[in-house]
Amino acid sequence: MSSIDPRQELATRLGLAEVPPARFGDVTDVAHRLRENDYLSNESIASVTFLADRLAKPVLVEGPAGTGKTALAQAVAKATGSRLIRLQCYEGLDESKALYEWNYRKQLLRIQAGRAEGSTEDWDALEEDIFAEEFLLTRPLLEAIRANEPVVLLIDEIDRVELETEALLLEILSEYQVSIPELGTVTATQIPMVFLTSNGTRELSEALKRRCLYLFVGYPDVERERDIILSRVPGISSALAEQIARVVRSLRSLDLKKAPSVSETLDWARTLVLLGKDEIGEADAVATLHILLKYQSDIDKATKELAGRSKGLA
């Protein structure tokens, strides 16, 4: 029994002349190429990224802030030589900022010219003219499916928008097309890889989730965070990177208002290197906790934790 290639099926539905080549050879290839672009994945991340390409499906990436969700899409774009198009979501985002809008000033000038003295142009002809391609202003979602080159579309922090705006995405995520009443349906000229990120501030709709593969990116384990530190912080020793990863891991187990993110771990590691530290003493850790933590109550809790571990740090 022959299997159905989802990419072939989608390309046929979109009317593409040929099926775009796969971006990755296998899961190992994903992990290797992401590593080459400074992103250390794990088996889950590499597997879902590979399947997203082969199944031509978007990926919904959830997890705490600062765990590398946005960086994953950026690394995939670099690894595949694709253009990254980013839609940063926020409360109040609407169709005119996400999909398209008409150039009203240019349309008004065209109307005024059409109504100039002596013009015999009727309104129907004028209306058809002002809703032509030259008056259309494309926004990230429409731009992503109209692009001729390979594209990675990043829809960042989708949980920040209202349900009504979330519904605008459904046609793009399932059909890779946009319906414009005045022009008709615009279908994709290539199949973009789509990543949606969410910090989990609200529950996303079932309709959105059905259209996506799901990936949870949590805080890395000690070994992976150590490797991330070594790859991103020049001049740091393996011993210090290991110690930093273990301290951060222990702090995340506390009841903090905001646990330290990976990006804050990297900032702390760079700070310790700049200060010429080869290991973390209690005094060094306490003096630099403001780099790692952003609330005084969290710093106070961390200070007590580090005091209790001082023998292990010294």
Any idea what the Cα angle at residue 16 is, between residues 13 and 18, rounded to 5°? 120
Q: Which secondary structure element, helix H or strand E, spans residue 215, and what is its range?
A: strand 213-216
Give the other-Cβ count within 10 Å of 203's Cβ: 10
* Residue at token pair 């990926």: 59
What whole-number percentage of the chain has pLDDT above 90?
60
Write the pLDDT tens digit of every residue in 271-286: 999 999 989 888 889 9
Helix/strand/coil for 25: coil
Non-local CB neighbours of 172 within 8 Å, separated by 6+ positions: 141, 145, 178, 194
Write the pLDDT tens digit of every residue in 37-90: 999 999 999 999 999 999 999 999 999 988 999 999 999 999 999 999 999 999
Residues 208-231, buried b or exposed e (16+ Cβ, 10 A)? beebbbebebebbeeeebbbbbbe
Identify the bridge partners of residue 186 per DSSP, sorted by sequence position.
178
Helix/strand/coil for 69: helix
* Amino acid 208: pLDDT: 93
Q: Give the N- to C-terminal CA distance of the chain in Å, as an integer.
A: 64
* Amino acid 16: pLDDT: 83
* Amino acid 313: pLDDT: 45
CB 200 within 8 A of CB 62: yes
pTM metric for this prediction? 0.86
Q: What is the mean pLDDT of residues 221-249?
A: 95
* Amino acid 312: pLDDT: 47
* Residue at token pair 């399932």: 174
Select the more confidently predicted residue: 123 or 241.
241
Binned at pLDDT 50, 70 and 90, residue 186 comes out as confident
* Amino acid 296: pLDDT: 96
